Structure 1
């Protein structure tokens, strides 16, 4: 059975007003990643995505949204809450990168250690206080389900679903196609 071509998704539906953006917020091309901080494939895609943004000359921005696969990854949800808490302290992308670098330490002790390394009090990223960020994670998760997301990383480039392995060449081709539209 062949796969049906994807229908572009409205960018407003993909990028909430409080989105975590890497790159120029006004870039003409937006890559939205629905990811899981405990997913090894997301960890492998992260440097590729950062490199595409960094080398784009301001043409590309990355938006990270949460799709914690909590049934498979026992620490994905607490990691999502912790990175949101770090975002409230202005350190979302630093914590994002740190969690991928230390993906084998996503328990509360590991999250607290990563926070301290970034100058964030540990109590802000673990425990009851972190629950104040649950609505953002729930919203991302619900939006992902509504879009048919089933695994991570799932990417959209200017609303078009990206298919295949996340490679620099593949993403650059998708970005070029999106810029031409």
Structure 2
């Protein structure tokens, strides 16, 4: 599936993403494809402008299929390669999950098991300190949190100091 232009150049990456998106358009539900195309478009613009890619679009519209294809497209966009594979990567509690790995790792059961163990270990190690930190943080009422965030992001809503005449 790799083309000669997979060297990682921007043109090669865009060509590979375009090719993959065309195949998705032919096999995905049109509504799901539209959600995916919009998310990919927004993400590509964020990356091109030097921003960190983050969640885009309405999370409720990101079905499992859309999430999997979005992850695959991101892997192509970031690496320029099309030989990644999507594999099951359950959480430590057995919850479903997936990861994008290199084809060589996906084809090697021992390597794949090693990656799953590292993932499980990382998640369980990170979960402990995060849970403790969240427990010690004072809870804030949701309406106050929204107000605080709004003031931080919208200067027009921030309180203004009264000005005195003559100053």
TM-score for the superposition, normalised by structure 1: 0.24
For CA contacts below 8 A with separation 6 or more, give which structure has more relative contact order: 1
Higher percent of residues as strand: 1
Tell which structure's C-alpha radius of gyration is larger. 2
Higher percent of residues as helix: 2
